Amino acid sequence: MGISGLIQGLMSDPLSTLLYLLISFLAMCISISFHEWAHAFTAYKLGDPTAKNLGRMTLDPFAHLDLMGAIMFVLFGFGWARPVVVNSRNLKHFRRDDVLISLAGPFMNLLLAFVFTGIYYFVQIDGGWLRLILIYLISMNLHFAVFNLIPIYPLDGYHVLTSIFIKNNYKVIQFMQRYGSIILIALIVTGATDAIIGWASDRILSLFLAFFGLFG
């Protein structure tokens, strides 16, 4: 049974709805905490202790949560956290290090999704709520990884795009910084992000399942 079927069956009364929201919030906290920790940890290893000094190199979700981003995450499966601050003056190779720091968060979400998919595949879980928790952990980590890789300001994909491809084209950078958030909101409202995230997440999950299928 897919996630929509589980939700329909489990949200048949107010208590079930509350439990569903709590599960969604739990999955969000795990996804965000590891994502932001990975950014901060990578920056620290590359010579910038700014995020660590600000208390962001932690798995405590409340050090990372953004209220609106958390609401979006719980209700729609993707959102955002408070950005990790990076001081470029502490990085020896800014463009390379900026790419590594930016990719660290989505990579961590993909790694978590991979691990939880393995647990879901190999561990036989009969309880509907336990299955739902795993499904949401997989789904939210995949969605958060793909969403943040969209190359639009202020997402991680924007930093990768500008550091590798755009470099010194300041007009493009200024345009993206000025209008990127508006473009992103427009994509969300029109459902374009749903299509992108759904398509990419399904294919990544298929790869994970195909990999685990080699052993089971």
Residue among 162, 159, 52, 43 nearest 91 (CA)? 43
Confidence of residue 19 (pLDDT cuts 50, 70, 90): confident
Query: Which pTM does this prediction carry?
Result: 0.88
pLDDT-wise least confident of 12-26, 81-95, 124-138: 12-26
What are the structure tokens assigned to 140, written together?
Answer: 């939210």
Beta bridge partners of 65: 81
Predicted confidence (pLDDT) at residue 161 exceeds the cutoff of 80: yes
- pLDDT of 2: 42
Q: Name the residue with higher pLDDT: 170 or 149.
A: 149
Q: Which of 10, 36, 50, 73 is catalytic?
A: 36
Q: Please say whether the dihedral angle defined by the alpha carbons of residues 165, 167, 171 and 176, taken in this order, is positive or negative.
A: positive
Residues 6+ apart with CB under 8 A from 67: none
Residues 6+ apart with CB under 8 A from 34: 59, 108, 109, 112
Predicted confidence (pLDDT) at residue 152 exceeds the cutoff of 70: yes
Q: Please say whether the dihedral angle defined by the alpha carbons of residues 79, 51, 155 and 180, taken in this order, is positive or negative.
A: positive
Q: Name the residue with higher pLDDT: 143 or 69.
A: 143
- pLDDT of 84: 93
Confidence of residue 5 (pLDDT cuts 50, 70, 90): very low
Q: Is-contact 72 78, C-beta < 8 A? A: yes
Distance CA 197, CA 71 (A): 18
Burial of 166 (C-beta count, 10 Å sphere; 0-12/13-18/19+): middle
Q: What is the mean pLDDT of the chain?
A: 86
| Per-residue model confidence as pLDDT tens digits over 166-203 | 666 677 788 888 999 899 889 988 989 889 998 999 99
- pLDDT of 6: 46
88 is catalytic: no
